[in-house]
Amino acid sequence: MAEALVYLVTGGCGFIGEHIVQLLCKQDYVSEVRVFDAMASEEVKKLATGKETRDIRDYTLLLSAMRGVHVVIHTAAIVDISDTVPFQEMKTVNVAGKCFKLCGSLLLLVFIYLRGTEDTDYSGEVELPYGKTKAWAQKLVLEANGKKVSNNGGKLATCIIAPNAVYGEKSLTLKNSYISVKAKGGVLDYVEPEDTERNYIYVGNVAWMHVLAARSLQLKPDVLAGQVYYAYDDTPIRKGCLVRYELLSAMDTSVKLGSRIPYWKIWLQIYFSKIIKILLYPFWKSQPFLNLPLLNTLVTTFSYETNKAFRHFGYMPLYSWEESKRRTGSWLQHAGPMAP
């Protein structure tokens, strides 16, 4: 082994974090992978050399876990697109990490962004509270770049990986979509207008980009430090429902593409559900329904074309679109409504 680097992955039992841990454990330059997560995962327990089931808001424990660590990959977050978690609680978790590399999200803005790049200017509005906390965290991470490290006199190098819509094994969003489709007789209805498009990225490729960027951030800090990289692979850039349909129908041929639900109809349902929730509270706690900020995000184009990650650190997708579909479908068969 040429080097013996110690990595810490916060949120290492989460959707993206678990895939990052799996890939890190295969790298010959990594001697130890520590995981800091509030949840336990049997898969991660088998792989990680150090597993801390801890709350990232406990600053003392987090500092202890970081002793002797060379690289931190920060993926811990409360992901709440249904807007049910109190903002202050989400803020204390999602803005906690000033680490070497942050996994961000582009599903935050309501602004038409068509085939842009990392250098394209946009001024989208962050509507979801979840989005506000992630935007705040990204700002802190970029501001931390170049700051002196107190214990060794070196400088902190940071960068951000920003995926758009991520699919793959352990995706609860995709699993819930499949359950909903089967409950409707196998019909996938959608809200996206015909002329919208969005980047979908397979989780294994998002994780691979993290691993490559984290390594290159050490080797070439003058190139990567302070940069933001959009995550991408060869998943077709198209209307979101068409990607979901292809993922589900490739695994279950009974799934059929339905019709578009008009915006106004969803808008009315959102406001009726709010009224019912207010009238019946606290006697009945309704299930979270689609909210207006998320609806506005779904019906808005946000896509990009870039090769910045390839140019800066040689990233190429580890999994093809066909392999990504196969792996995702295999997992859904065991995790979805048709599972035994």
DSSP of 234-292: SS--B-HHHHHHHHHHHH-TT-EEEEEPPHHHHHHHHHHHHHHHHHHTTT--PPP---H
Would you state the pLDDT for residue 187?
96
Would residue 130 show up in a list of annotated catalytic residues for this protein? yes
Q: Is the pLDDT of residue 284 over 80?
A: no
Tell the residue number behind the tokens 């989005």, with chain if given: 131
Among candidate residues 7, 130, 167, 245, the one labeled active-site is 130
The answer to whether 103 touches 16, Cβ cutoff 8 Å, is yes
Written as six digits, the tokens of 195 are 């002329």
pLDDT band at 309; cut points 50, 70, 90? very high
Q: 5-171+199-236+303-319 has which fold?
A: Rossmann fold (3.40.50)
Token pair, residue 152, equals 């060794």
3-state secondary structure of 120: coil
pLDDT at 57 over 80: no
| % of the chain surpassing 90 pLDDT | 40
- Better-predicted residue by pLDDT, 199 or 108: 199
Question: Mean pLDDT across the stretch 6-26?
Answer: 90
- The residues spanned by each domain of the chain are 5-171+199-236+303-319
Q: Are the C-beta atoms of 85 and 78 separated by less than 8 Å? A: yes
* Mean pLDDT, all residues of the chain: 81
Digit-coded pLDDT (tens) for 72-109: 898 876 665 566 666 566 556 555 544 445 555 544 44
Higher model confidence: residue 154 or residue 168?
Answer: 168
Closest CA to 62 of 18, 11, 111, 27: 11
**Model confidence at 200: pLDDT above 50:** yes
Q: Examine the pLDDT at 325 and tell me if it is beyond 50.
A: yes
Q: What is the pLDDT of residues 221-262, one digit of tens each?
A: 999 999 999 999 999 999 989 999 999 999 999 999 999 999
- For 338, the 3-state DSSP assignment is coil
Q: Taking the model in full, what pTM does it have?
A: 0.86
Residue 87 CB partners (closer than 8 Å, separation 6+): 129, 132, 133
- Check residues 46 and 277 and name the one with the higher pLDDT: 277
Provide the pLDDT for residue 137: 77
DSSP state of 147: P
Which amino acid is present at 300? T
Longest Cα separation, the chain = 65
DSSP state of 153: S
Identify which has the larger pLDDT, 272 or 326.
Answer: 326
